[in-house]
């Protein structure tokens, strides 16, 4: 597909317009808003994120979507966020150090918080769906073009399909199993993860997903994960339900709690206080040995509770009776696996 540049004195990022879409034209919305006005408004609701990366060819930047007027940022859960210092740069060039609020590995989104007030943002109560043939705009920090007060890059395209996700990464498949919007805008490049797909009226449709190849074909997918499918996870993160180590004050500890030994495995030594909960060993003839669990699996959830360290796992098990079943959600490479365990 060929592309041409759309130039405007309001835009300083890269704006790629599909020639096929240009033939469709861009009519004003019911509010009288045209293409340039829609982009000018939407770009103020986007931000650039900088964190970990730089080794093994990994980029240290991606894209964020402002979702509240006091600085909540929705983005992709990725290696970029695995840093003690995460920087967020707004459209006007203001730079903030972000606080990590929480994440949901099952849909690969995360939420950050910056100390900013009265910022422009996408209202999650006004999100929308899309259908094949609908015109969309993709707003991303493509190749890290924007660093200061430059806006994110914008691509104009169409939704080519709404279908279940069929793709894989090196090491495993994407954990999200629902439908996605497949688009003809090139969103599978460095820095695009966490970007936004919006409609003609500037309403948020989807979050741009991380790099993914379609099936066994050597073809990169350009897709967005529907924002409406992310809503429950967003609500749970903001309410504290998906914050690692959070406790439900209404729960009562059992008289005979569950233990790692009863489940039939051990974790790596807890030597740094926040040691990630990797499985170190499966006990021979134990419950875990008869399941799909493996050494080096990283535990993400115990039942529906997010855990981020060895101590979190053991603390969560202490709230479960030793005779009750336990569901573990683990990460193996890039694959998310759910395993049901019962004591023997």
**What range does the domain containing 44 cover?**
3-239
- What pLDDT score was predicted for residue 89? 97
CA distances from 240 to 54, 78, 110, 326 (A): 32, 20, 13, 22
SS3 label, residue 83: coil
One domain, residues 231 and 317: no
One domain, residues 190 and 330: no
One domain, residues 275 and 204: no
- What pLDDT score was predicted for residue 129? 96
Q: How many structural domains is the chain composed of?
A: 2
Neighbours of 215 (CB within 10 A): 10
- What pLDDT score was predicted for residue 154? 94
- What pLDDT score was predicted for residue 27? 57
One domain, residues 26 and 165: yes
The Cα–Cα gap between 196 and 265 comes to: 41
One domain, residues 278 and 235: no
The pLDDT tens digits for 88-127 are: 999 999 999 999 898 887 788 999 999 998 999 999 999 9
pTM of the model as a whole: 0.74
SS3 label, residue 44: helix
Residues 314, 260 contacting (CB under 8 angstroms): yes
- What pLDDT score was predicted for residue 45? 97
- Residue 330 phi/psi, 5-degree rounding, is -125, 155
One domain, residues 65 and 189: yes
Q: Is residue 249 part of a domain?
A: no
Q: Is residue 246 part of a domain?
A: no
- What pLDDT score was predicted for residue 164? 82
Q: Is residue 135 part of a domain?
A: yes
In a structure prediction context, what are the per-residue pLDDT tens digits for the chain, which is 344 residues long? 333 334 333 344 455 544 333 444 555 554 556 888 999 999 999 999 999 876 667 889 999 999 999 999 999 988 888 788 999 999 999 999 999 898 887 788 999 999 998 999 999 999 999 999 999 999 999 999 888 888 899 999 999 999 887 655 544 446 677 899 999 998 989 999 999 999 999 999 999 998 776 656 667 789 999 999 999 999 999 988 776 655 555 667 898 999 999 999 999 988 755 678 999 999 998 889 889 899 999 999 898 888 878 988 999 999 999 999 999 999 887 678 889 998 76
The Cα–Cα gap between 160 and 147 comes to: 31
Angle at 311 between CA 113 and CA 173, to 5 degrees: 65
Q: Is residue 247 part of a domain?
A: no
One domain, residues 324 and 181: no
Q: Residue 179 pairs with which residues in a beta bridge?
A: 164
One domain, residues 186 and 74: yes
Radius of gyration of the chain, Cα coordinates, nearest whole angstrom: 22
């Amino acid at each position: 597909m060929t592309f041409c540049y759309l130039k405007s004195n309001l835009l300083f990022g890269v704006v790629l317009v599909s020639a096929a879409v240009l033939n469709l034209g861009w009519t004003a919305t019911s509010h009288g808003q045209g293409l340039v006005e829609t982009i000018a408004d939407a770009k103020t609701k986007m931000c650039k994120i900088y964190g970990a990366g730089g080794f093994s060819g990994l980029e240290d930047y991606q894209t964020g979507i402002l979702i509240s007027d006091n600085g909540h940022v929705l983005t992709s859960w990725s290696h970029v966020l695995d840093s003690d210092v995460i920087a967020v740069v707004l459209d006007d060039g203001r730079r903030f150090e972000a606080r990590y609020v929480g994440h949901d590995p099952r849909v690969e989104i995360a939420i950050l918080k910056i100390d900013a007030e009265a910022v422009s943002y996408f209202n999650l109560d006004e999100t929308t769906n899309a259908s094949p043939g609908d015109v969309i705009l993709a707003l991303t920090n493509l190749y890290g073009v924007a660093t200061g007060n430059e806006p994110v890059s914008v691509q104009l395209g169409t939704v080519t399909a709404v279908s279940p996700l069929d793709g894989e990464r090196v090491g495993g498949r994407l954990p999200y199993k629902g439908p996605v919007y497949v688009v003809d805008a090139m969103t599978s490049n460095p820095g695009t993860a966490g970007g936004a797909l919006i409609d003609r009226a500037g309403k948020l449709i989807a979050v741009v997903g991380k790099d993914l190849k379609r099936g066994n074909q050597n073809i990169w997918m350009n897709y967005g994960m529907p924002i409406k499918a992310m809503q429950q996870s967003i609500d749970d993160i903001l309410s504290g339900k998906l914050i690692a180590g959070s406790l439900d004050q209404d729960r009562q500890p059992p008289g005979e709690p569950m233990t790692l030994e009863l489940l039939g495995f051990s974790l790596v030594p807890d030597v740094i206080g926040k040691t990630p909960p990797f499985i170190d060993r499966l006990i021979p003839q134990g419950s875990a040995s008869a399941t799909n669990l493996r050494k080096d699996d990283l535990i993400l959830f115990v039942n529906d509770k997010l855990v981020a360290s060895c101590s979190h796992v053991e603390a969560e098990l202490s709230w479960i009776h030793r005779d009750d079943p336990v569901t573990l959600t683990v990460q193996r490479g890039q694959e998310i696996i759910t395993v049901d365990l019962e004591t023997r």
